[in-house]
Structure 1
Amino acid sequence: MKKQTAKRQRRVRVRFRAAVFVLVWAIPAFPAKSVTVKITPDPKACTIVHLPKWKRAAGPDWMTPTADCEYDFRSSQDGFLVGLHCRPEFKDNQLYSPSKYAVSFGSGRVRKATDSEWNLAGPYLAFRLSTQEHWPIENYKPLVYRGRVFRKSGLTWPGESDIRLCSRLSPEGDFLAVNSWDGTIQFGGGLFDLSIHQYVDGFYYVDIYNSDSARRVLLIQGHFHDVDPTDMFRKSAWISKRYFVLPLDFENKMRNFVICDVAHAAESGN
């Protein structure tokens, strides 16, 4: 009797393992999240930065999927310093990563910043001003600011839920970044709706203009896959009156971004 029971248990375990194997094998493999970058007409005005992994801050809520994370930028002699802090959802406190990095303009070379460097460096404030505070723009229309026309390179304006994402105005109003994209952004229908799968793929564009002359100074563009460009536009910012920053990855990594010296590009293009 015991031998028969043991045989039945073995058969059940074998069947269960086979079922699990079939289930796992049936799950399709999707391409990894990715964002590419191309800068014209002056790629030397921009630096593409790839940072090492951020060390955890003290606390269980560090870099959770719902945390709001921001870079901390500070000035440096041949580049800039960068740190990171995150605010957990429904909480007011900021959690700061102990990691601090020094980045060289141009080469993008990264090294660890010392505590003395960090403490002596002046902070850069992040500005997210927009020309569109109260009304949306139809996709077929350009952005009009101070009577001048600023055209987008993509087909679609971002920010169905936040019209301010269409543009980023530098703090003194000298430069204007115009955001757009084209492609497909389709999210799943929910936990019990498997008929609609997530598909995010296309191209993003940031046209940066001299706001007085409406002359385009730089174009940042690239391909995105499984990274919503709306998040990139939302976190983009001006730091000081000349530097524009566009994050390139999310999912709580915050390790890749592009920073452009727009004032330098404007001067070299004259």
Structure 2
Amino acid sequence: MAGTIEINAASFLVSLVFVQRIRSAPARPAASPTSGTSVISEIKEGLDWLATNKIVLLLLLLGTLANVALAPTNVLPSMLIQRDFHGDARMLGWFETSIALGLLLGGVLVGTLSPKKVGRWFIAGLGLEAVGMLIVAVTPFAWMAYGGNFLLGIGVMVCNIPLSTLMQTLIPDRMRGRVNSMTSISFNISIPITYGGIGALADVIGAKPSYGLGALLLCLCAAMGGMNAALRSIDLSQEAAEEKEDAGQAV
């Protein structure tokens, strides 16, 4: 344990060296007194735009719910390994390594294939996350939990990368900053509240049932996304062809 802490401390010192080498940006003038009013108006404009764009609103809802569902994966691994699998730090390390490998493979997979039907990939990612969490929740064997965590890692990347692509595609440039700010706020607010709640819940029902509830919520998210025909039908290649055709007509 002490050796691990020493390695972590050394890595922070190495990071500090690189951070110190970053050149500071020139100071910017202070914001004008009227900036507060403009910020409020921009937030209102963003909310009004969201209210009329159902797909983006659905994505915001599904992304927030998915963050809530994934809370056990960030809070409960040590409790799960110790109480349910009667393991030690080595087993916890393998469990965490499995999701890290899944994240890596998922990122390579999505980056290599460059999917165009990003709506369907997003829905598939939610489903894969649900399967991974369900395996962890029901398996009596640690090695199967590793496999479930590995699938979960793949699902996170298959879900998150298309979600980012969808947000970039569906939100016009002039609204992107406003909507992305509200998206970040909703995601970030859900994290501390959910993490505290999942810890209290796990004390009552246990780690595995908490993973099971997360899997159930992810299944609900995948079903909600799958029932939305507009989300399923989003095809980036088709939209690119339409934009090219419009540009040709404009010329």
Structure with the higher helix share, 1 or 2: 2
User: Shorter-chain-normalised TM-score: which range?
Assistant: under 0.3
Structure with the higher strand share, 1 or 2: 1
TM, length-normalised to structure 2: 0.21
Asked which structure has the greater CA Rg, the reply is: 1
TM, length-normalised to structure 1: 0.20
